[in-house]
Amino acid sequence: MPFDQNHIATVGGYAGKAVRYSFYAAGTVMFALIAIGVVRISSFFSQPSSVSTKASFQIASPDLARLSPTATSAKFNAGWQEVLQHGRIYDRDTDFTLVVNMPANPGTPVVRDYSSEMSSLRPLLRSTYMGASTTYYDLQTRFGPVRAASFQANSDGQTKLCVSYLSRFETEAVYLKGWLCEASGARPNFHTLACMLDRIALKGMLPTAAAQAFFEERMKRSARCSAEPVSQTTDTRPARPPKRL
């Protein structure tokens, strides 16, 4: 068969275009997936369609009894969010904040990134969020496990030692996050935080049946609160020498 250089060049040109367009298509799909993810994450923080001061939760903790709670609930594109706060982050006294998110589509699995969830907390955005600790803690509550880490907040020139947290419950119907800052200069206790979260109780009806059922079932469990540093998994098997060829 004679060697046709022009034919080879033509085929090569088509192949190059095919490869180039396939990269364009893959990039477009990847960009679309990223955009969808960003929209889902940010949709909780768009303008709410309705806002209320009615509280659906309460925390019967002696550490918070002397602080008057304030509550705000709002409906967003992705679902509902309620914020229960004892104290203020810029006060010298204790500040505990509970943020309850209830997605409108609880059947959609989502992997929640700790840093992203913490950076989206609006009150913290108005203060200076200073270096989260590299040491994390695992908290246990009757509702399920919670991950927590230390950080410092600088608000109006005042530095407070705080602990942020994000739930790791076995449900997509609801997840919790927030922070605990003790009185100025005091370091929060992870065990105290775990026991505060363990005392969450319903005060009203929730907007989704899945979230309502989850809290009602878990509230029937015995009290359980503990905290321990996150343990790193390592291979404890003895090292074996490589096989000789």
Using CA atoms, how far apart are residues 97 and 99, in angstroms rounded to an integer? 7
Confidence (pLDDT) at 119:
73
Report which of residues 230 and 25 the model is more confident about: 230
Cβ neighbours for 161, distance < 8 A, ≥ 6 positions apart: 150, 152, 181, 182, 185, 186, 187, 188
Which band of pLDDT confidence, cut at 50, 70 and 90, is reported for residue 171?
Answer: very high
Map out the domains of the chain as residue ranges.
Answer: 5-43, 48-229
Confidence (pLDDT) at 10:
55
pTM of the model: 0.72
Range in 13-17, 106-110, 120-124 with the lowest mean pLDDT: 13-17
Confidence (pLDDT) at 156:
72
| CATH 2.40.30, domain 48-229, yes or no | no
